[in-house]
Amino acid sequence: MQAFEMMGTIDEKGQLILDSNLNITAPSRVKVIVLLTNEDESECDPDDTPVEEIKASL
């Protein structure tokens, strides 16, 4: 199983709209885990280190 992380929005109909395409060429069934940001949390998680920074440190 592959994992992809990206941001998206739940619209007024309750449908998930991703900010970018997944670039998957064949129709596939997927498993979705939704993490909601609390109203009092900022948009950016201070513990969320960018992938580029993690790769550079290796």
Residue 13 has pLDDT above 80, yes or no: yes
Predicted local confidence at residue 41, as pLDDT: 54
- Banded model confidence at residue 11, pLDDT cuts 50, 70, 90: very high
Q: What is the mean pLDDT of residues 1-29?
A: 91
Determine the Cα–Cα distance for residues 20 and 38; give it in Å rounded to an integer.
23
Count of alpha carbons within 13 Å of 3, Cβ hemisphere only?
Answer: 2
Of 9-13, 28-32, 49-53, the range with the lowest mean pLDDT is 49-53
Instruction: Report the predicted TM-score, pTM, of the whole model to 2 decimal places.
Output: 0.55
Predicted local confidence at residue 46, as pLDDT: 63
**C-alpha closest to that of 35 among 16, 20, 12:** 16
